[in-house]
Chain A
Amino acid sequence: GNSVTQMEGPVTLSEEAFLTINCTYTATGYPSLFWYVQYPGEGLQLLLKATKADDKGSNKGFEATYRKETTSFHLEKGSVQVSDSAVYFCALFTDSWGKLQFGAGTQVVVTP
Chain B
Amino acid sequence: NAGVMQNPRHLVRRRGQEARLRCSPMKGHSHVYWYRQLPEEGLKFMVYLQKENIIDESGMPKERFSAEFPKEGPSILRIQQVVRGDSAAYFCASSPIQNSNTGELFFGEGSRLTVL
**A and B form one complex:** no
